[in-house]
Structure 1
């Protein structure tokens, strides 16, 4: 691969997916794109880049998908799911007791293990959430991994990574040498294509956002942009869960760390959608009199 081809790919991947490759990652690009070029009947990365420059959107999408890391497993890192069960859900349930609805977003949901882990965790709460409207949105830039997530079919190796045996028995059925999560759990998750670099306000407002192990691949300016848009897609008393190697500290004032809960954050100020309308503002004495 020529230096010019590598620079073209570096820029394209950053523009398309936010992925930042250092100058010493040519081996990684070659290991993932040479097989892709051969599959497409091309002589190598040079010809692949030429086709992309000529306007092949199909090859461009394939390259972005090939270079996107989709490492994930059930109940990954454990701690965020403990926070989910012990802190996030109880506090959100208390705050939403009147409307009885809960919206959760898994950004970079990959092949589905994270959103399905959350769905199983909610299911395990039993009657506690009876009568509640539960919505889990899982998004990812890769169409290929989303198709796998929708099918909910996993290998023996995949279900052995983090999934407690009692949940495997309870929520999966064996299909040949594979395991498929049951329809009830699959129905709890909606899968939607999304690039975090683009506007995501159309998804609506969420009580809980899991955005783990994706921002580590972005540069500082891209991270700041994502954080500042995330806070506008969250309730003012919502929760943001980041990966173990990720933080908002030093990047943005939009979020603050939740005390004594590693990787857990909450909005620092009212998002735009939650700001009070100036038209309803009244003197404090009048407000006190009317709310009595």
Structure 2
């Protein structure tokens, strides 16, 4: 892959998905796009780029999907789901006792393991949630992964990654070499295609937002913009859950860390700007 093609792809991916690739990530593009080139009957990435430059919207969409499909598995990292069970839901059960409803958004739902993990957590709390309405909305940039999530069908390998055997037996049905999550859990999750770079206010306001392992791919200004908009999509006493390698610290005051709960944040403070965040980051770097 030559440098002009790489720079074209870097700009397109940044504009379309927020993916911010450094100058040394050619290997990542080649590993993702060479198979796509062959699938399209093309000799290589240069031909793929020429097709995109020629205005092929379907090819552009395929490239963005190939570059933004990320790994996921059930109860990934475990800790966020412990927080959900032990801190988030107990507080919301008290705070929402009057309306008896909770809205949860998985902002990078991928193939469904995260939203269905949350659905299983909710099912396990069914006694405490009797008479409550719990809504889970899963969004993703890729329609392909959303379709897999809707189907809720997973391989033996996928269900063995992070899913306790008792939950597999309780909430899945086996069909040959595959497992399908039960219809009542599938019905708990709504699926919508969404680009986090675009306006998402139409989704409404949430009590809990899981936005994990997606912001690490964005540059600083994009992260700040998304944090500010997430704050506007959250109840004043809601909860934000980030991935293990993600933080609001040094970027924005719209969220504050929850004491002694890594990766858990609550709204608080004024929206940040990129200019305001830079001195904080510089100060941190100098420590």
Number of residue pairs matched by the alignment: 271
TM superposition shift of 1:171:
0.3
Q: For residue 76 of structure 1, give the secondary structure of its aligned residue in structure 2.
A: coil
Partner of 1:201: 201
Q: Is the 8 A contact 1:153 1:181 kept in 2?
A: yes
Partner of 1:279: none
TM-score calculated relative to the size of structure 1: 0.91
Gapped regions of structure 1 (runs ≥ 5)? 272-292
Q: Is the 8 A contact 2:254 2:270 kept in 1?
A: no
Of the two, which has the highest radius of gyration?
A: 1
Q: For residue 73 of structure 1, give the secondary structure of its aligned residue in structure 2.
A: coil
Q: For residue 210 of structure 1, give the secondary structure of its aligned residue in structure 2.
A: strand
Note the alpha carbon deviations across 1:78-104, whole angstroms, 9 max, x for none: 111011001100111111101101000
Gapped regions of structure 2 (runs ≥ 5)? 272-287
**For residues 204-215 of structure 1, what are the structure 2 equivalents within 5 Å?**
204-215=204-215
**For residues 125-144 of structure 1, what are the structure 2 equivalents within 5 Å?**
125-144=125-144
TM-score calculated relative to the size of structure 2: 0.93
Structure 1 runs of 4+ with >6 Å offset: none
Q: For residue 260 of structure 1, give the secondary structure of its aligned residue in structure 2.
A: coil
TM superposition shift of 1:231:
0.0
TM superposition shift of 1:257:
0.2
Partner of 2:10: 10
**For residues 1-292 of structure 1, what are the structure 2 equivalents within 5 Å?**
1-269=1-269
Note the alpha carbon deviations across 1:145-164, whole angstroms, 9 max, x for none: 10100000001111011100
User: Equivalents in 1 of 2:79, 2:35: separation in Å?
Assistant: 37
Q: For residue 52 of structure 2, give the secondary structure of its aligned residue in structure 1.
A: helix
Q: For residue 29 of structure 1, give the secondary structure of its aligned residue in structure 2.
A: helix
User: Equivalents in 2 of 1:77, 1:102: separation in Å?
Assistant: 23
TM superposition shift of 1:69:
3.6
Partner of 1:289: none
Q: Is the 8 A contact 1:236 1:269 kept in 2?
A: no
TM superposition shift of 1:44:
1.3
Q: For residue 126 of structure 1, give the secondary structure of its aligned residue in structure 2.
A: coil
Q: Is the 8 A contact 2:255 2:268 kept in 1?
A: yes
Q: Is the 8 A contact 1:236 1:270 kept in 2?
A: no
TM superposition shift of 1:27:
1.3
Partner of 2:277: none
Note the alpha carbon deviations across 1:189-232, whole angstroms, 9 max, x for none: 00100000000000000000000010001110110010000000
